[in-house]
Chains A and B, each alone.
Chain A
Amino acid sequence: MISLAGITKYFHRGSINEVLALEDVSLNVRTGDFITIIGSNGAGKSTLLNCLAGSYPVDEGSISIDGEDVTSWPEHRRAGDISRVFQNPLLGTCASLTIEQNLALAARRGKPHGFGLGVKNRDRDLFQEKLRHLGLELEDRLKDKVGLLSGGQRQALTMLMASMVRPKVLLLDEHTAALDPKTAHQILDLTTLVVSEERLTTLMVTHNMKQALQLGNRLIMMHRSRIILDVEGDQKTKLTVEDLIEQFYTARGEEFSQDRMLLV
């Protein structure tokens, strides 16, 4: 179980550019949860994932994974528990390394790097089998540099790498947003496949409300650095895009009325 308790995160704290990105956000993620996260630009969705992954230190609150307090752990130390796929398809892989070298690094995620051979012969069979699974005909291109692949192929490879070693939580940050519609669809199918096959605990940020409703067992809406909606199970299944839009405007409307009250 992953728990975020009272997370507050500022950017440029103390300067005139100060931004409150997360305000007292608490969230309990149960093992096996597949949570989709929606919200407008600047709502704090990506910041939430980055705080959980350790890319940003938090200003207040604590984060624990399976009962262990990881708030002070640096990003590379949390990587043993967390795998990620980024919005930018170039960010998840190394262009100058070969496909097999990238996979070998992913196969050692969270483990020490010693002086054994980086890519071992016995790994290659496993890599080929996993790549065949992708259906992108990459299985015979183990020694090709990843820089030669398209954005979609690289994102598929990143998805594969994210599940090479079973993570305690998988973080997907708008990982199909930078792809063309057809490729985005393929990556989404692959995501559903990987997540359901391995029963991975997953947090997925998306801008697509339909996607957010279709996938996962739980949905979170964020607005202005806070979580304003958290539904799951039957309640989520019944939700429609219209409901979400209404919820969103209700939340905004409340703010307006509160502002008005302040002025009166």
Chain B
Amino acid sequence: MTWYAFFGALEQGFAYGLMVLGVYLTFRILDFPDLTVDGSLPLGAAVSAVAITAGVHPYLSLLLALGAGFLAGMVTGILNTKFRILHLLASILTMIALYSINIRIMGRPNMTLLGKRTILDPFYAMDMSPSVAAPILFGIVSVLSVIFLMWFLHTEFGLAILATGDNKQMITSQGVNTHRVIIFGVGLSNGLVALSGAMICQNQGAADVNMGVGTIVAGLASVIIGETVFGSRSINRAIIAALLGSIVYRLAIALALGLKMGRFSFTPSDLNLITAILVVAALTLPQVRARFRLK
């Protein structure tokens, strides 16, 4: 693997790392399989792209993306809790709706940011090359998010979120409104995902309504890889493992894309298949191992 490919994977790993943290929050903490992310990632990109085009400061556009993602997640949470729709279905409904909404926001299916200001400009001004600036900036944002989550999940409200994902009857009889916790938790998760989408869009210079396809699978793969490789004994460790899992996942993909077996090589369109197989393998491996141990 070349240095160029390595830094590229690092950059992607950090940029998508926020998305992975969001998926970790719903999938592992809240026990809420949330497919909204396939729609909230392009939502963040669209909001950020439109805001920058309209002259909003690129960093401020990140906040707008975060807010938009939060709202999208809240919709899923409300559909699930107040309208009693199964979590999986509720999130698919929001995801489908976001496809239309994202096109409405941009006014077209995709949008370029050619010649526009981006969050990377201050780094370019310091004479940094794009392949160095992006991993540094995304690394900083990811680490800050990890620290935020570690703090947040140890607050009183954070404990209530952890308990809601574990035992709803228990936390309800301790006086916590689980509906509110779920709506907020899924909101926060999608806020992170949208933030991730906004950074990716500014980095690649375009927002596309289809850029979110397969986000949930990539997120799950990263979370599971992280847990398998780095462990999840404590909350802090699991959060760090999720971010590192994102990096390992992107490195693995970079390796796979560089692989040549005779005349066969993988193309980027094979990624979804590879990821799906990876997730299935990671999910079934513990069962297979347990079965062999029994015999």
A96 touches B162 (CB 8 A): yes
Partner of B155, one of A76, A93, A97, A115: A115
* CB-CB under 8 A for A105 and B167, given A53-B173, A76-B175, A77-B175: no
A97 to B176, CA, bound (A): 16
A53 proximity list for chain B (CB < 8 A) = 173
B167 proximity list for chain A (CB < 8 A) = 90-91, 93-95
A118 touches B159 (CB 8 A): yes
A82 proximity list for chain B (CB < 8 A) = 173
A101 to B156, CA, bound (A): 9
Partner of A76, one of B152, B157, B166, B177: B177
B155 touches A94 (CB 8 A): no
Partner of B173, one of A84, A96, A118: A84
A106 to B159, CA, bound (A): 11
A245 to B234, CA, bound (A): 53
Cβ of A148 to closest chain B Cβ, rounded Å: 12
A106 proximity list for chain B (CB < 8 A) = 174
A101 to B160, CA, bound (A): 10
Q: Mark B256-269, 1 if CB is under 8 A from A, else 0.
A: 00000000000000
A114 touches B156 (CB 8 A): yes
A79 touches B154 (CB 8 A): no
Partner of B176, one of A76, A96, A115, A118: A76
A91 to B178, CA, bound (A): 16
B170 touches A113 (CB 8 A): no
B163 touches A105 (CB 8 A): yes
A86 touches B156 (CB 8 A): no
B154 touches A113 (CB 8 A): no
Q: Which of B47-95 contact A (CB under 8 A)?
A: none
B155 proximity list for chain A (CB < 8 A) = 113-118
Q: Mark A37-63, 1 if CB is under 8 A from B, else 0.
A: 000000000000000010000000000
B173 touches A94 (CB 8 A): no
Is A218 part of the contact surface with B, judged by Cβ < 8 Å?
A: no
A83 touches B154 (CB 8 A): no
Closest B residue, CB atoms, query A85: B173
A108 touches B170 (CB 8 A): no
Is A13 part of the contact surface with B, judged by Cβ < 8 Å?
A: no
Partner of A79, one of B158, B163, B172: B172
A119 to B169, CA, bound (A): 21
B173 touches A115 (CB 8 A): no
Closest B residue, CB atoms, query A164: B174
Is B171 part of the contact surface with A, judged by Cβ < 8 Å?
A: yes
B166 touches A113 (CB 8 A): no
B172 touches A116 (CB 8 A): no
B176 proximity list for chain A (CB < 8 A) = 76, 79, 113
Is A111 part of the contact surface with B, judged by Cβ < 8 Å?
A: yes
A84 to B171, CA, bound (A): 11
A181 to B9, CA, bound (A): 59
* CB-CB under 8 A for A114 and B157, given A94-B170, A97-B163: yes
Residues of chain B touching chain A, judged by Cβ–Cβ distance below 8 Å, are 152, 154-160, 162-163, 166-167, 169-178
